[in-house]
Amino acid sequence: MRLQIVTQKDEILPYLRDESNWTGSAEGISFPQSEDEIREALLFHAQRHTPITVQGARTGITGGAVPHGGQVINLSRCNRALGMAWDEGKQRFLLTVQPGMLFSQVQKGLADKAFNTEGWSRESLKVYRRFCSEGGWSFTADITETSASIGGMVSTNASGAKSYLYGPMRAHVEGVRVLLADGRALALRRGEQFARAGNFRLRLEDDTYIEGKLPTYRMPAVKNASGYYIKPDMDLLDLFIGSEGTLGIVAEITLALSKTPARAWGLLAFFSETKRALQYVQALKLLGGAQKPAAIEYFDRACLDMIRREQMEAHSHKGLPLLPAAEGVYVEFHQPAQVDVDARALQMRVMLQNAGADPAETWLAVTPQDLEKLISFRHAVPESINRIIAERKREDPTLTKLGTDMAVPDDRLDWVLRLYTESLDKLGLEGLKFGHIGDNHLHVNILPTDGQDYLRGKALFQEWARQIINAGGTVSAEHGIGKLKIAQLSEMYGARAIAEMRALKRCFDPLGALNPGTMFTVEENA
């Protein structure tokens, strides 16, 4: 084949791992630059019955991109924007990109109105000229790790702080082109092909069909990225979003853009007790409709202590005033006009006072520059945790970060926060709680100091997973299952559901060639 396969061990080495810090093995890796080249690689490997792992930017933290033997198809060079269209029905622009394009590249292209339009169709260029002459348009999917690829975001149904208002990746995908393991292609547009009562019949581009039954499990009513997205009469586009590359390779994605809100502003409020912070959060969650916040994020006292320590000792986090010893709640609003900001600000004063916070000590960001500072504080929390872990790893290379990604129903938020705090205290483990409290989705990070801590933390996570599943929650709300949370997925849905999921995968990938070891263990007979 024309596409080169790299087989030198030292050149493959960096591609054997992702941000999960797990390392796998592979015999070779290829870097296709187009759909044709992806197909070429797929067919080449299919003929040899070689298992394939698909990679984007390898920023995932559950090991989805870590190869399980066989060959890697790395999509990082499929990184171009392919065109733009106007959605007359919903009055918005649609941007089509290759899967390896980074989230940050899309954001920059939109902000600067500067995409490389080489090879775009005349129609696309016409729409693009209109896009350039209009006001701001945004891709409002939101993730903390901006170096993630769009394909990776589709694959895990990624989300972030602002998914509270805008929804996860799923809400922003209008279409995909998918290549199956045997090289056949299908083009899915939202609203075109649906399942009926749990059965589906999907038309491929060569006019052949794939038919099958959808799994019968019910997804928990929480933010969720565990297993396939299944609903009896679902839009079949949704089946591929969050499927972690186990059904096919997403070769092209059409993203829906929305008008940039005129005013984006944020508030970081500080609380002396968890109880008061929660009271404030509950009040914020009652704001609906046009009043709904874009993001509600929580940071426990340990998070603020960690950043403050770095501010004092390392003089890092420049531009951020010294944080107080307290818990923090960050809320962001996106509004159409300045007058709305003033009205909301007055309302927020009352809400803060009711929850026992001081509006005079609440940090307000009304300028884009100040907002950027608050957002970078939000991002600094996981980064600082990673730095601490990296330091400890130098002492003991077996240590890694233990991070949860579980979400619970609305009425269990109180309970889960207590569960986390009490069990960490009881075991004397160093833990930090932060994240998307608006979606009842907190990340708990345990910082082990030695191997024993690590094992105790791991056991604690299993225990939490069990209790959270019983409470109607999910084991993964946004990171996906990958290779690290297979046991938890099984615990969440049970053996029958896993068998149904495997059967669904076989409809699209009968030989189990794609992403073996992701979402399920490798089948012995595959």
Partner 1 sequence: MSLEIVVCVKQVPASTRVRLNAATNTIIREGIEMMLNPFDAYALEAALRIKTSMGGRVTVISMGIPSAAEILRFALGLGADRAVLLSDKRFAGADTLATAYSLAAAVRKLGTWDLIFCGRQAVDGDTAQVGPSLAQKLGIPHLTAVSRLEFLSPQRILCEKMTDEGYQEVAMELPALLTVVKEINTPRFLSLEGYLETLGAVVEIWGADDLDLDPSRIGYDGSATWVMSTAAAERCKNGKEIDGSPQEVAAKILETLTQQGWQSLTSEDRHE
Q: Which residues bind partner 1 (CB under 8 A)?
A: 6, 10-11, 14, 77, 267-269, 318-322, 342, 345-346, 348-349, 352, 358-370, 373-374
Residue 471, φ and ψ in degrees, nearest 5: -85, 5
Q: How far is the CB of 56 from partner 1 (least distance, A)?
A: 18
Q: Closer CB to partner 1, residue 316 or residue 423?
A: 316
Q: How far is the CB of 118 from partner 1 (least distance, A)?
A: 12
Q: How far is the CB of 354 from partner 1 (least distance, A)?
A: 14
Q: How far is the CB of 9 from partner 1 (least distance, A)?
A: 12
| C-alpha closest to that of 184 among 230, 235, 253, 251 | 251
Instruction: Give the DSSP H/E element, type plus range, for residue 373.
Output: helix 368-395
Q: Closer CB to partner 1, residue 31 or residue 461?
A: 31
| C-alpha closest to that of 142 among 165, 125, 108 | 165
Instruction: Count CA within 13 A, CB hemisphere, residue 22.
Output: 21
Q: Closer CB to partner 1, residue 210 or residue 320?
A: 320
Other residues' Cβ atoms within 10 Å of the Cβ of residue 395: 9
Determine the Cα–Cα distance for residues 520 and 245; give it in Å rounded to an integer: 12
Q: Closer CB to partner 1, residue 325 or residue 499?
A: 325
Q: How far is the CB of 5 from partner 1 (least distance, A)?
A: 12
Q: Closer CB to partner 1, residue 334 or residue 441?
A: 334
Given the structure tokens 């809320």, which residue do they identify? 331
CB contact burial 125-148 (16+ within 10 A = b; e otherwise): eebbeebeeeeebbbbbbbbbbeb
Q: How far is the CB of 360 from partner 1 (least distance, A)?
A: 4
Cβ–Cβ < 8 Å for 136, 91: no
Q: Closer CB to partner 1, residue 101 or residue 352?
A: 352
Q: Closer CB to partner 1, residue 30 or residue 243?
A: 30
The 3-class secondary structure across 455-524, one letter per residue, is: HHHHHHHHHHHHHHHHCCCECECCCCCCCCCHHHHHHHHCHHHHHHHHHHHHHHCCCCCECCCCCCCCCC
Determine the Cα–Cα distance for residues 61 and 19; give it in Å rounded to an integer: 5
Q: How far is the CB of 342 from partner 1 (least distance, A)?
A: 6
Q: Token pair of 254, please?
A: 């059409």
Q: How far is the CB of 59 from partner 1 (least distance, A)?
A: 18
Cβ–Cβ < 8 Å for 485, 66: no
Instruction: Give the DSSP H/E element, type plus range, for residue 42.
Output: helix 35-47
Instruction: Give the DSSP H/E element, type plus range, for residue 339.
Output: helix 338-354
Length of the chain (residues) = 526
Q: Closer CB to partner 1, residue 240 or residue 333?
A: 333
